[in-house]
Structure 1
Amino acid sequence: MSDLPASSEGHGKGWRDRLTPDEITRTVIDAVHTGAESRWEPAQRRAAALFGVTHEQKLIAVRKHFQKEVVGLGTATGAVAALPGAGTATALATGVADIGWVTVRNADLILTVAAIHGHTEAEVEERTAWILAVLVFGDDAAASFDQLARELGKKAASVATSATMKKMNKAMAKKVFKSYGTKKGALALGKALPFGVGAVFGATSSYRGLKALIRDADLFFRQIPRADATPTLATTVDLAKGDDEA
């Protein structure tokens, strides 16, 4: 729980154990499957409609598109969970719902970045693997994704079969809580801070996470090959800098 401000540690101890690893993992995996199964075509349409000519401009447009909604959710759930009289049960329920919804929207974002990079064909298992790889492995997603494919299927990820993808998804699912899950659990716990403080914590954490996720997804799709075309030259915009100029 090191992602939390020091002042939040004592406040959360009374109900922290109720946000269990199994509950977080189940919520995240269900949300990932929802994203992979139903968000691919909308992501392609979203990518096609983004403002911008260059790759960097499109990444900035992605960030702006998701920023208002995701950061707004972080603020709203922080405020609701910390309302006087709401109690820890409300904080817990709101935090779990937040984890699920933000994960679905993160899947939307990852698939949108995939579409920006020209990925047009992918089965559900492959889309699930993309989402899990970025969420679980972060900026090391491409290398870890390929290594896992070789370990489980004896071939590179670019030629992995559907059966191998299923094995990879099961393996990555087991890593959810120790990576992505604990981060989201920490954010949910942070939103149970006193009214106002929790809202701000939720918003700033969501914004930082959004920028990092875009960078990680962009790096991942720059490094994994497309089956349908020669990879385009694209450089990752540094979203941690120059926001005032965007």
Structure 2
Amino acid sequence: MRCMRDEPGTDVTTGSVTGMRTLDAALDKAVSIPSTVVHAHVDRLRRRNPHASPEQVLRMLEKQYLLAVTASGGAVGAVAATPAVGTGVALAVTTSEVATFFAASAAFSLAVADVHGIAVEDTARRRTLLLATVLGDKGARTVGTEAGIAPQAWARTLLVNMPTSTIRRVNTTLAKRFVRRQAGKQGALAFGRLAPFGIGAVIGATGARALGRNVLTGARKAFGPPPTAFARTIEVTATTDNTPPDRLPLDWAPPRS
């Protein structure tokens, strides 16, 4: 698959997004997952379930994602609440779990895009997808307002067709909303994990699952109803103001036996 070049003078792979170094680092790492890994995961699901429809594959991805973030949140909650673990270590552990949550959320949202026949190659557009889905309903409304498009099923229009200048504007607003709302939730959840052993694990698991469900809502808002069939043409997201989206013929469907 060909990746188009980013707009001249634009550094979309690094730089401050939220203005908070730890969160920016977590976001940068989360959106750097190789597309080949995403495609391979979706293809494995389809090979194991050769008669599954796109909707069924999406439900499998959702179940995997929720299990992953719930298990991660519960495990970190248990470690952070252990009496032998100091507060500094506990906070470091919970910070790493936030990064894990972002990574899982980015992988999930990109896999959903793959099922819908969209390959999100541009880092800035990946940030848009991640921030908006993590914000759930509010993310969809923010995208709609800033990009001037309908907030329902916005992903294809924004990620494939919109110019880089629009992506920057959307990301700036999403980042502000994220810091005000979601970072506060993550912070409260982190302190909850410092509760006595056992209670911390429950708070970690239930809190992470609640955040994960919000991401599911955001992804459904972003892409709309599941496609009726798997795409045989992958739309590659545009990365410049003057370059139209590519449509690359790609027979990526695994053999049906």
TM-score (norm 1): 0.71
| Alpha-carbon distance, 1:35 to partner | 2.3
Instruction: Give the stretch that moved more between structures: 93-102 or 205-214.
Output: 205-214
Question: What is the aligned length?
Answer: 201
Against the structure 1 CA distance between its residues 91 and 222, is the aligned structure 2 distance closer, same or farther, given a 3 Å change threshold? same
Against the structure 1 CA distance between its residues 218 and 45, is the aligned structure 2 distance closer, same or farther, given a 3 Å change threshold? farther
CA–CA distance in 1 between the matches of 2:100 and 2:64?
16
Partner of 2:250: none
CA–CA distance in 1 between the matches of 2:167 and 2:44?
30
Percent of residue pairs bearing the same amino acid type:
28
Partner of 1:119: 118
Q: Which amino acid aligns with 1:40?
A: S
Question: Is 2:41 the partner of 1:42?
Answer: no
Give yes or no for contact 1:47–1:112 (8 Å, CA) kept in 2.
Answer: yes
Against the structure 1 CA distance between its residues 169 and 24, is the aligned structure 2 distance closer, same or farther, given a 3 Å change threshold? closer
Question: Is 2:134 the partner of 1:139?
Answer: no
Against the structure 1 CA distance between its residues 212 and 101, is the aligned structure 2 distance closer, same or farther, given a 3 Å change threshold? same
Partner of 1:63: 62
CA–CA distance in 1 between the matches of 2:210 and 2:22?
22
Against the structure 1 CA distance between its residues 58 and 211, is the aligned structure 2 distance closer, same or farther, given a 3 Å change threshold? farther
Q: Mind listing any 5+ residue stretches in structure 1 that lack a counterpart?
A: 1-21, 230-246
Partner of 1:186: 188
Partner of 2:166: 164
| Alpha-carbon distance, 1:39 to partner | 4.0
Against the structure 1 CA distance between its residues 141 and 61, is the aligned structure 2 distance closer, same or farther, given a 3 Å change threshold? same
CA–CA distance in 2 between the matches of 1:34 and 1:76?
21
TM-score (norm 2): 0.68
| Alpha-carbon distance, 1:25 to partner | 4.1
Please give the secondary structure, in 2, of the residue aligned with 1:146.
helix
| Alpha-carbon distance, 1:87 to partner | 2.7
Partner of 2:8: none
| Alpha-carbon distance, 1:228 to partner | 6.7
Against the structure 1 CA distance between its residues 203 and 42, is the aligned structure 2 distance closer, same or farther, given a 3 Å change threshold? same
| Alpha-carbon distance, 1:196 to partner | 0.7
CA–CA distance in 1 between the matches of 2:140 and 2:246?
18
Against the structure 1 CA distance between its residues 94 and 175, is the aligned structure 2 distance closer, same or farther, given a 3 Å change threshold? same
Against the structure 1 CA distance between its residues 35 and 85, is the aligned structure 2 distance closer, same or farther, given a 3 Å change threshold? closer
Q: Which amino acid aligns with 2:44?
A: A
Matches within 5 A, 1:144-159: 144-150=142-148, 157=158, 159=161
CA–CA distance in 1 between the matches of 2:34 and 2:22?
17
CA–CA distance in 2 between the matches of 1:214 and 1:94?
25
Please give the secondary structure, in 2, of the residue aligned with 1:174.
helix
Against the structure 1 CA distance between its residues 103 and 121, is the aligned structure 2 distance closer, same or farther, given a 3 Å change threshold? closer
Q: Which amino acid aligns with 2:142?
A: S
CA–CA distance in 1 between the matches of 2:65 and 2:120?
24
Give yes or no for contact 2:18–2:24 (8 Å, CA) kept in 1.
Answer: no
| Alpha-carbon distance, 1:194 to partner | 0.5
| Alpha-carbon distance, 1:176 to partner | 1.9
CA–CA distance in 1 between the matches of 2:173 and 2:90?
31
CA–CA distance in 1 between the matches of 2:18 and 2:94?
11
| Alpha-carbon distance, 1:116 to partner | 1.6
| Alpha-carbon distance, 1:23 to partner | 9.7
Instruction: Give the stretch that moved more between structures: 81-90 or 36-45.
Output: 36-45
Partner of 1:99: 98
**Among candidates 6, 9, 22, match of residue 27 of structure 1:** 22
Please give the secondary structure, in 2, of the residue aligned with 1:195.
coil
| Alpha-carbon distance, 1:62 to partner | 0.9
Say which structure is richer in helix. 1
Give yes or no for contact 2:139–2:174 (8 Å, CA) kept in 1.
Answer: no
Instruction: Give the stretch that moved more between structures: 86-95 or 33-42.
Output: 33-42
